[in-house]
Structure 1
Amino acid sequence: MDPRRFSDLVVFHRVAAARSFTAAAQSLGVTQSAVSQTVKRLETELGLRLLSRSTRSLAPTAAGERLLDTLSPVIAEVDAEIEDLEKLREQPGGRLRVTCGKHAADTLVWPAFSRLLSCHPEIEGELCVENRHVDIVAERFDIGIRLREDLEMDMVAVPVGPDMRAIVVVAPDYLEGHPAPRIPRDLSSHRLICYRNAGGVLSPWTFEKDDQVETVKISPAVIVNDAAALVEAACAGMGFAYMLEDLAAPALKSGRLVEVLADWNPPFAGYHAFYSSRRQPTRAFTLFLDYLRREGKRASADCLGSAR
């Protein structure tokens, strides 16, 4: 339909329902002349007279009544839907679709997501957990959570999680028969356990110290595509593994793993929430972002407490 035709029909509906050009013009915020010209144009295009006019009254013709009967429920439904949508700005409700990877879900997103839905059961929540890059616009997600370095340039991104570290760990038994590496390149002479991401790529081993960045050329002895398997392979003494510090934390605490090259692994920016636009966010979206930030602050406080 021609967009102008739709607006003309709305004007006709307002005139026919009110039985007055003046009242319709006032409700629409336009002049009476503009309303009259719109109705005349519509009648000319349809080749039908829609309104009977006299100096004292106005009423729909038979064709006008038929058109009015068709338009009234449609316009009422559209008005009601717009009213409901406008409420989403102020009141939580509607659907919220979130995407993230497994690690982000376990450490940050699920606690925030579950608290949001517990406090606001009127929100229809969907959480999709998968370790691949998701086009949130094409796949119609409201928000995603990912590391900053993995985000597209056209996305709005805000930090929501604490800083993170990637570390190299190994089982103490392995070190009994092999010298511990002093610098990253020493790793090339050892057995390495590598992680293959959802894109089929081996995660790089990158180190930094005193503004010097070094990437180790990987010749894996073992390859896994699961974080838990990565930890267990290292604990089993299969070689050195490179992983997020929080994944290794329980095994480090129990002594099943030890860290090496600690001074080559500074913290980096953690998870970011990303979305396509800052304009007109729903109340559910805003609340979820707030819950994510709170969960991120709690996680940061826990990290500081553990460090002490």
Structure 2
Amino acid sequence: MDATRIDDYLHRLGAAPPDRPTVDALRELHLRHLRTVPFENLSIHLGEEIVLDGKRLLDKVVQARRGGFCYELNGAFGVLLTALGYDVTLLAARVYDDEGRPGIPYDHLALRVRTVDGGDWLADVGFGSHFHLPLALGERGEQKDPGGTFRIVEAGADAAGVRGGHGTADAADLDVIRDGRPVYRLEVRPRALGDFTAGAWWHSSSPASRFTRSLVCSRITGDGGRITLGGRRFTVTAPDGTRRERETETDEEVLALYRDRFGIVLDTVPTVRDAGRGA
């Protein structure tokens, strides 16, 4: 990643180059990324190829000024952080469903980031509604965040850190818990970007994937709330969790929301692809 590409990425985030790869600089970059680069799955429904290659991801996020889902956003963010001097490791996770069952292997991509002044941190700009600031990976107590109260516990422990919850697991794995509910099971062994190719293919092609069955474009706002365009429904969520929703009436209104609220310029309105096509 050359200096020009770094500057372009930072310019998109509205951030200055950090003097050193510190915790404070990481927090600022993480928050700016969530405010600027939307979590979205539009490529799946626009027929655009998703390629897990560092250059292709940067082309999409920086040059095309698009967003993406976990593999793309955390993949690109990891490239930026590495170029800025952070020690970055890709980690695989399995996202829990509403019944507490973990998803497929390589279901999610998150980042372990080591700073020069503060140990290891869990960074994740590719999950949608989640923590706003990186979590201390070695902390086992509660971590307060604008996105909720988080805990990182040994996998198989309950929200209080007691072993026996959420099924069996590798002893090295960790559970990330938000407001008392498990979010995902995190493996701590290093992975390469190419390891996530099968997961990205499944999520972008299987009718069982939530991403093939719906459209989403979402980012946090400057006040700590969130805006989301789910198909044609536009939702504004305040920091206290109250929501205002409205249905858009015309294609022009949808395209204007993508452009003005998410910075995404499209020629046509995305529509959910035929979910009946096999995985």
TM-score normalised per structure 1: 0.21
Structure with bigger gyration radius: 1
Question: Relative contact order: is structure 1 or structure 2 higher (C-alpha 8 Å, sep ≥ 6)?
Answer: 1
TM-score normalised per structure 2: 0.22
